[in-house]
Amino acid sequence: MLVLVAGLVAPAYVVLLVAYGASTEATDVGYAPAQPIPYSHALHAGELGIDCRYCHTAVEVAANAAIPPTMTCINCHALAHGIRADSPKLAPLREAFYGGERVPAGLPIPWVRVHDLADYVYFDHSAHVRRGVGCVSCHGRVDRMEVVYQAKPLSMSWCLECHRNPAPHLRPLEAITDMTWAPPAGADRVEFGRALLKQYNIRSAEYLTSCSLCHR
């Protein structure tokens, strides 16, 4: 009986898994889910010039960039003398941090993931940003996004294209979060990148395209 049930359930599970893997949430450029708080990167990262690392604190040291804890938002938007502390848009933030009638204090904001790689893919943010790959290369001009959306396909072929020839995508480490960075005037971007390729001791394309690098 158990074998029969498994035989019926397994095919349906595989179909659903493949369907999700090909869904908007997993693959489509332009995917922009609604968030619990209408946070504007165009305002914070663009107009105000807040560095990406203020919120995404682990991006240089860990595989995950880290979603900011509620306390990070409260640093600016606290009830006592905070910026727009009474804004209705920030009600979920206040409730999460201070608590409510039926909500305990200190809860995280349930942000919805925008960039979601398949579970069988290993991606390390620190390995990229510490070798000169800027945030804009994978996430696009976040500093112009009122609502964050997936700007790049993040597909295997898209990743391999960069891994085969990373030089044009490299920049100085101090410009990792600078969305408007460009090589010095008169410098060829490819040649400039090749110099950084040697400086950062980035390994060969053969190594960067090996299956085990991303599928562990």
Q: How high is the pLDDT of residue 100?
A: 83
In a domain, 88, yes or no: no
- Residue partners of 120: CB distance under 8 A and separation at least 6: 215
In a domain, 186, yes or no: yes
Which among 196, 203, 133 has a CA at the least distance from the CA of 169?
Answer: 133
Question: Could you tell me the sign of the dihedral formed by the alpha carbons of 38, 40, 44, 48, in that order?
Answer: negative
Q: Which two tokens stand for residue 71?
A: 């306390």
Domain count, the chain: 1
Condensed to tens digits (0 to 9), the pLDDT of residues 102-157 reads 889 999 999 999 999 999 999 999 999 999 999 999 999 999 999 999 999 999 99
Q: How confident is the model at residue 178 (pLDDT cuts 50, 70, 90)?
A: very high
pTM metric for this prediction? 0.83
In a domain, 152, yes or no: yes
Please tell me which residue, 103 or 21, carries the higher pLDDT value: 103
Q: How confident is the model at residue 24 (pLDDT cuts 50, 70, 90)?
A: very low
Please tell me which residue, 2 or 206, carries the higher pLDDT value: 206
Total count of residues recorded for the chain:
216
In a domain, 83, yes or no: no
In a domain, 184, yes or no: yes
Residue-range definition of the domain harbouring residue 177: 58-65+115-216
Q: How high is the pLDDT of residue 4?
A: 63
Say whether pLDDT at 10 is over 90.
no
Quick check: 212 and 118 in contact, CB under 8 A? no
In a domain, 106, yes or no: no
Q: How high is the pLDDT of residue 123?
A: 97
In a domain, 80, yes or no: no
Say whether pLDDT at 11 is over 80.
no
Average pLDDT, stretch 174-196?
A: 96
Condensed to tens digits (0 to 9), the pLDDT of residues 32-88 reads 999 999 999 999 999 999 999 999 999 999 999 999 999 999 999 999 889 999 999
In a domain, 168, yes or no: yes
Helices (H), 82-180: 91-98, 125-129, 135-139, 156-164
